């Protein structure tokens, strides 16, 4: 092993250890009346139930032509309606994490979710059947109930969520498990040790009011894709990776060429317009003063934000 490679490996391990300690130190600042949940490895979506009980699942993103992105048929294969739903729960908008599990109940990686949500409904259903996956939606918040914005404390919104979930198809919908503050350390340790079937990311802390906290266990950055570069060698004829910036349509500061599947490399190369402007999640050892990331690797695309908007701007 070269000296540089040895240094890089040891430095990254030490840095990662420090990051995990830092994540756990955040738990000291959590008030006793907070609610703690696992951060599901998926893509956030909006679930709208209209006045007749019809359900639609939408992406947070808007398509390049300005239209909503509807995931209902990708997940269910058809339109669905909830019979017998009480009137007070119609005209309701819920927030949930769209994910999928294998036959043994393990959540699939974020890139598989990207593939499902960016394929045609017919292709998505084929992927689910061919790979023996079950789509799920883990509900974690309420945006609107019976046409009115949900402004109550989170504990009250969660109670609404549990009641509504009882009427939804239980083979797809579930409410995200919740824990009191005193269980936060145990939950974070379980996730860090790869003992939680649905996440390796970390936890979410919901306060009675105000924004929630995401406490993640691995270093992650949101970057904007500004161009696709060609592959070399075995990747000749497809994408080698992408150039990224820290601002929409900004000046490229680096490139990402690892973590991409062969299928994604091909699609990125032949459909560049579908990827330029997207927000990508990447891991890296550090950020240099120039803005470039050290040894960046692609994790997944953000499905949670409109084109050109990142998590840090929400």
Using 50, 70 and 90 to split pLDDT, how confident is the model at 245?
very high
CA dist., res. 310 & res. 299, Å (int): 15
Angle (nearest 5°) at CA 97 between 67 and 174: 125
Taking residues 32-48, report their average pLDDT: 90
CA dist., res. 178 & res. 26, Å (int): 18
Total H helices, total E strands in the chain: 7, 19
- Please write the tens of the pLDDT for every residue from 182-237: 998 899 899 989 999 999 888 999 988 888 888 888 778 999 999 999 999 999 99
Taking residues 75-97, report their average pLDDT: 92
Rg (CA), the chain: 20
CB-count exposure of residue 78 (10 Å: 0-12, 13-18, 19+): exposed
Beta carbons within 8 Å of 293's beta carbon, 6+ residues apart:
221, 223, 254, 256, 282, 284, 285, 286, 287
Of 24-33, 50-59, 247-256, 272-281, the poorest mean pLDDT is in: 24-33
Angle (nearest 5°) at CA 297 between 296 and 298: 130
More confident residue, 50 or 304: 50
Residue-level pLDDT at 14: 44
- Please write the tens of the pLDDT for every residue from 107-150: 998 889 988 998 899 999 999 999 999 999 999 999 999 898 88
Residue-level pLDDT at 23: 54
Does the structure show a pLDDT above 70 at 9? no
List the alpha helices (DSSP H) in the chain.
Answer: 3-25, 72-76, 110-117, 121-130, 154-165, 184-192, 262-270
What is the pLDDT of the chain when averaged over all its residues?
Answer: 85
Taking residues 238-265, report their average pLDDT: 94
Q: 32-52 burial, b if ≥16 CB within 10 A, otherwise e?
A: eebbbbbbbbbbbbbbbbeee
CA dist., res. 216 & res. 78, Å (int): 35
Residue-level pLDDT at 17: 45
Residue-level pLDDT at 218: 76
SS3 144: strand
CA dist., res. 16 & res. 112, Å (int): 25
Residue-level pLDDT at 58: 93
Helical axes 121-130 vs 110-117, angle rounded to 10°: 140
Residue-level pLDDT at 11: 44
Does the structure show a pLDDT above 70 at 274? yes
Does the structure show a pLDDT above 70 at 1? no
């Amino acid at each position: 092993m070269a000296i540089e490679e040895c240094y890089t490996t040891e430095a990254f391990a030490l840095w990662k250890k420090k990051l995990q300690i830092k994540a756990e130190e955040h738990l000291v600042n959590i008030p006793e009346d907070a609610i703690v949940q696992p951060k599901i490895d998926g893509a956030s979506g909006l679930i709208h139930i209209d006045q007749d009980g019809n359900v639609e699942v939408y992406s947070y993103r808007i398509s390049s032509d300005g239209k909503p992105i509807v995931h209902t048929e990708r997940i269910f294969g058809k339109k669905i309606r909830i019979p017998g739903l009480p009137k007070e729960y119609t005209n309701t908008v819920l927030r949930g994490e769209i994910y999928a599990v294998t036959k043994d109940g393990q959540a699939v990686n974020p890139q598989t979710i990207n593939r499902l949500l960016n394929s045609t409904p017919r292709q998505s259903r084929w992927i689910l059947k061919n790979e023996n996956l079950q789509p799920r939606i883990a509900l974690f918040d309420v945006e609107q109930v019976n046409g009115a914005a949900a402004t109550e404390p989170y504990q009250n919104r969660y109670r609404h969520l549990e009641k509504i979930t009882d009427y939804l198809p239980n083979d797809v919908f579930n409410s995200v498990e919740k824990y009191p503050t005193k269980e936060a350390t145990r939950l974070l340790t379980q996730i860090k040790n790869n003992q939680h079937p649905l996440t390796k990311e970390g936890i979410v802390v919901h306060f009675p009011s105000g924004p929630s906290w995401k406490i993640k266990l691995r270093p992650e950055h949101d970057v904007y894709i500004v161009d696709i570069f060609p592959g070399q060698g075995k990747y000749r004829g497809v994408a080698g990776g992408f150039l990224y910036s820290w601002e929409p349509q900004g000046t490229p500061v680096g490139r990402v060429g690892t973590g991409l599947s062969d299928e994604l490399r091909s699609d990125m190369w032949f459909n560049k317009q579908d990827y330029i402007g997207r927000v990508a999640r990447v891991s890296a050892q550090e950020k240099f003063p120039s803005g470039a990331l050290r040894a960046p690797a692609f994790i997944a695309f953000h499905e949670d934000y409109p084109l050109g908007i990142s998590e840090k701007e929400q």
